[in-house]
Amino acid sequence: MLALQKTHDGEGLELRDVPRPPAPGPGEIALKIAATGICGTDLGIQKWNPGYAAMMNPALPVTLGHETVGRVTALGEGVQAFAIGDAVVVNPAIACGECAACVEGDAVGCLDRRPFGMVLDGAFAGAVNVDARYAYHLPDHVPLELGALVEPLSVGLHALNVAGYNPGDRVVVFGPGPIGQGVAVLAKQMGSQVAVVGFRDAVRFDTLRELGIEQLFDASEEGAMDRLKALAGRGFDLAVEAAGVGSVVDQALAVLRPKGVLSLAGMGEPNAAVNIGLVVRNRLEIRGASRIPPAVWPEVIKLLAADPQAFAPLISHRMKLADAQEAFALAKSGQSSKILLIPEE
Ligand SMILES: [Zn+2]
Ligand SMILES: [Zn+2]
């Protein structure tokens, strides 16, 4: 079968013909992949940004793809929670089960994770076996391809939860890419007024309008930040940084209410300057959002199932797995939202 793989230490990805997976082992389910989204992480692995080599080199060659949905085609020994034909999504954060954190029962804090699509073979392929403990049912009425959004939406919901989100809170999102769009639509679906700040992101703003997000601010425009401040009034309850841009941190802090929280979900530039006086005076908090607790998955699936069409505009392109290189170039261009790769076999 065709698979998109990282094959060697260095830049690049390869489409390769690889053997189909064997029959699922004990506790595993076999999936026929329906669709898999391209993530910023996949772009980072293609470019081979610092940090990936240490974790991934021992696993190469490995099939990428961790934002996936598929149907169960076979059950390994002992699997009772699934039946053949079920639509499922996969939580890629596979814990090792052996490290000090795992032994203490903190699988989310695993010190030696084996992420699906980075260390374990992922879903940019026609089929894959996964540990059934990391699979979740997608309700039948949800269009199958929307299942590929559950993983990036879980990143978004976690970013809100980390900030102590309460339904109805006033939220500002910095960064209108797929993660920021997910945060915005989730908060909207939970009753929030949401503003989104971008930087020359016309195409992504169009998607946000389709998602029903009207308060859009282009930071490259004169006076945009003043208009955001005016909208904020006494301040937003929370902000999410999903741009990975250092200068955004101070912009976000400046529009929070006293005791407001900034949740950092983006990783790009390593450092940011912070107005310490503002943080101290307004008792602001900055929190990092990674390591998604498993409980977030059912929450996301519930929100998606309640109104699937509200999330549909997040998918901007569907392309063949065979056209993966072209799809990755499009994902890098910023002229897309979520791009799905569809295997043909
Ligand atoms: Zn991802
Ligand atoms: Zn572990």
Nearest to 157 by CA among 129, 192, 133, 128: 192
Q: How far is the CA of 119 from the centre of ligand 2 (A)?
A: 14
Backbone angles phi, psi at 242, to 5 degrees: -125, 20
CA of 135 relative to ligand 2 center, distance in Å = 18
Instruction: Calculate what percentage of the chain has a pLDDT beyond 90.
Output: 96
Architecture of the domain defined by 164-288? 3-Layer(aba) Sandwich (3.40)
Distance, CA of 241 to CA of 166 (rounded, Å): 18
Residue 172 and residue 156: Cα distance in Å, rounded?
13
Distance (angstroms) between ligand 2 centre and the Cα of 106 equals 8
Question: What pLDDT, in 10s, does the model give residues 14-40?
Answer: 999 999 999 999 999 999 999 999 999
* Domain ranges, ordered by start, for the chain: 2-150+292-342, 164-288
Tell me which ligand sits closest to the C-alpha of residue 122: 1
Q: What is the pLDDT of residue 280?
A: 98
Give the C-alpha separation, 57 to 2, whole Å: 21
Q: Report which bound ligand comes closest to the CA of 290.
A: 1
**44 C-alpha vs ligand 2 centroid, how far in Å?**
24
Digit-coded pLDDT (tens) for 288-340: 999 999 999 999 999 999 999 999 999 999 999 999 999 999 999 988 999 99
Low-confidence ranges of the chain (pLDDT < 70): 345
Residue 92, strand partner residues: none
In this prediction, residue 1 carries a pLDDT of 97
Note the pLDDT tens digit of each residue in 88-98.
999 999 999 99
Of 313, 316, 322, the residue nearest 339 (C-alpha): 316
**Biggest CA-to-CA distance, the chain:** 62
Cα(260) to ligand 2 centroid in Å equals 33
Ligand nearest the Cα of residue 154 is 1
List the shell of residues around ion ligand 2, using CB closer than 5 Å: 95-96, 99, 102, 110, 112
Task: Look up residue 95 and give its amino acid.
Answer: A
Pairing of strands 194-198, 171-174: parallel
Q: Specify the CATH number for 2-150+292-342; select among 3.30.70.20, 3.50.50.60, 3.90.180.10, 3.40.190.10.
A: 3.90.180.10
> How far does the centroid of ligand 2 lie from the alpha carbon of residue 17, in Å?
32
Distance between Cα 21 and ligand 1 center (Å): 23
Rounded Cα–Cα distance for residues 93 and 3 (Å): 21
| Location of structure tokens 């029959």 | 23
Which bound ligand lies closest to the C-alpha atom of 103?
A: 2
Q: Which pairing describes strands 28-37 and 127-131: parallel, antiparallel, or unpaired?
A: antiparallel
Length of the chain: 345
- Nearest-angstrom CA–CA distance, 156 and 162: 10
Residue with tokens 């929030």: 192
C-alpha to C-alpha distance for 145 and 308, rounded to whole angstroms: 11
pLDDT of residue 116: 97
Q: Which ligand is nearest to the CA of 331?
A: 1
Per-residue 3-state assignment (H helix, E strand, C coil) for the chain: CEEEEECCCCCCCEEEECCCCCCCCCCEEEEEEEEEECCHHHHHHHHCCCCHHHHHHHHCCEECCCEEEEEEEEECCCCCCCCCCCEEEECCCCCCCCCHHHHCCCHHHCCCCCCECCCECCCCECEEEEEHHHEEECCCCCCHHHHHHHHHHHHHHHHHHHCCCCCCCCEEEECCCHHHHHHHHHHHHCCCCEEEEECCCHHHHHHHHHCCCCEEEECCCCCHHHHHHHHHCCCEEEEEECCCCHHHHHHHHCCEEEEEEEEECCCCCCCCCCCHHHHHHHCCEEEECCCCCCCHHHHHHHHHHHCHHHHHHHEEEEEEHHHHHHHHHHHHHCCCCEEEEECCC
